[in-house]
Amino acid sequence: MNTDKLIEQARPLLKAIKPYRALLFFVMLAALYGYIIVKINSFNNVTAPDITTSTNSQVHLDKNVISKIEDLQENSVSVKTLFDQARDNPFNE
C-alpha cells in the first residue's frame, strides 16, 4: 500500500476532526488517568497468599528434653527468673 494514497485518504478525516482536537485530547487524557486509577486500585486490593500449615507448625520437643529443661529451671534461680521474664515480655532482649 502506498503511503501517499493513505495520507490523501486521511486528510478529510483530519479536517473533520480538527475543531474537536482539544476535546479529543481531554477525553484521551481522562481515559489514561482513569486506567491508571483502576490499576492502582487493583494493586491496592491484592490479598496476601495463603500460608501453608507447614510453616506455621509448632515445634515438637522430645519428652526427655522437656524434663531436662524443667529440671534446670527448678535448680537454678537465675534461669527461673530468665524464664519468668521471657514469659512476661518475650520480645525484650
Average pLDDT value for the chain: 81
User: Is pLDDT at 27 greater than 80 in this prediction?
Assistant: yes
> What would the pLDDT profile of 29-41 be if each residue is shown by its tens digit?
999 999 999 999 9
Which residues contact residue 79 at a Cβ distance below 8 angstroms, ignoring those fewer than 6 apart?
Answer: 72, 73
> What would the pLDDT profile of 54-88 be if each residue is shown by its tens digit?
555 677 778 888 888 888 777 766 666 667 777 77
What pLDDT is stored for residue 52 in this prediction? 61
What pLDDT is stored for residue 61 in this prediction? 79
pTM greater than the 0.85 cutoff: no
